[in-house]
Amino acid sequence: MTLLSPVWLLLLVPVALLAVAYVLVSRRRSAYAVRFTNLDLLDKVAPRGPGWRRHVSAAALLGMFVLLVVGFARPTAEVQVPRERATIMVAFDVSASMSATDVAPDRFTAARQAATQFVRGLPPRFNLGLVAFSSQAAVAVPPGTDRQTVLSALDRLSTSSGTAIGEAVYSSLEAIAALDTEEEAPPAHIVLLSDGSNTTGRTVSEAAREAASRGVPVTTIAYGTQDGVIELQGRQVPVPVDGPALQSLAEAAGGGFYEAASGDELQAVYEDIGTSVGYRTERQEIWQWFVAAALLSALLAAVTSMLWFARLP
């Protein structure tokens, strides 16, 4: 939290002096009470004192003053605000390694289910597109607001050989550029899921530089485990996930990097990404919260004073 007008905090000085004066007066009253030496008689003739309750109203009143002063200082905080518009490209790996069963029932099925939930959870005003990539990358659905088209395209995906991660980024960038012809285009973001290394096409580093130059962050998801295996021409071929390559892409392109080794983890990753791309962080004034708290504190002072002492503070 930061303050836009911290000079108002000088008003805390008289509030502090008032608190000190209250403490001194309370001690002085205690000193007068001790002068009555016959304590047994005092206990019989004097009613039981309010004890700690007599300080509640004063503390609430002082708290009100403090809260009002902080409110005058115009405190601000970072607040998550929903984006009005955005363009999201989902780049989905359909290489043969996605058929590995180290993720139940297999990488491809679990990833498609999680991507479906991600698509359904995005705000309807967002433009959403889909790129499928294996040895080549192709725009399966250009970015738009029709969610059913993207969901249908996800259902039609099938696996094939090769992994062209760099080409997937380039295809996503071109799809975004084709849509965003306005002078002030909405912010764009690429969410790329893959389980392997780049094996064909332009390199990951080239794609990262291009995305960074266009100001489009690329968030990557390394999906799968190191124990993944597929059957190819009658033999078992290891297909471990390549996290470092995807992490370098995300870092160079200004996006986030995630790892998911199960369908549940992938679902959580997509939910987190949906929150990050669906909202922007703004610094807003929150003085009204302090004023509201001050009013509640004043109300507490008044209620406790009337209930316990039959008077207003």
- CA dist 124 → 80, 86, 185, 303, 305 (Å): 18, 10, 17, 48, 53
pLDDT tens sequence across 131-180: 999 999 999 999 999 999 999 999 999 998 889 999 999 999 999 998 86
Rounded Cα distance, 192 and 171, in Å:
12
Model pLDDT, residue 309: 64
The pTM of the full predicted model, rounded to 2 decimals, is 0.66
- Looking at the predicted structure, is the pLDDT value of residue 281 above 60? yes
Model pLDDT, residue 217: 93
Rounded Cα distance, 179 and 267, in Å:
28
pLDDT tens sequence across 192-204: 999 878 999 999 9
Q: What is the average per-residue pLDDT within 37-59?
A: 60
Name the residue with higher pLDDT: 112 or 272. 112
Q: What is the average per-residue pLDDT within 255-269?
A: 87
- Looking at the predicted structure, is the pLDDT value of residue 93 above 60? yes
- Looking at the predicted structure, is the pLDDT value of residue 48 above 60? no
The answer to which of 82-96, 173-187, 244-258 has the lowest mean pLDDT is: 173-187
Residue 183, judged by CB atoms within 10 A of its CB (0-12, 13-18, 19+), counts as exposed
- Among the listed residues 277, 267, 252, the one whose alpha carbon sits nearest the alpha carbon of residue 128: 277
CA angle 115, 80, 116 (to 5 degrees): 10
| Total residue length of the chain | 313
What proportion of the chain, given as a percentage, has pLDDT over 70? 84
Q: What is the average per-residue pLDDT within 238-252?
A: 92
Rounded Cα distance, 259 and 311, in Å:
63
Model pLDDT, residue 40: 58
- Cα atoms in the 13 Å half-sphere on the side-chain side of 258: 25
Model pLDDT, residue 41: 53
Name the residue with higher pLDDT: 128 or 80. 128
Rounded Cα distance, 312 and 44, in Å:
28
- Encode burial over 75-99: b for 16+ CB neighbours within 10 A, e otherwise: bbeeeeeeeeebbbbbbbbbbbbbb
Q: At what angle do helices 53-72 and 287-309 cross, to 10 degrees?
A: 160
What's the alpha-carbon Rg for the chain, to the nearest Å? 32
Q: Are strands 75-82 and 2-3 parallel, antiparallel or unpaired?
A: antiparallel
Model pLDDT, residue 156: 94
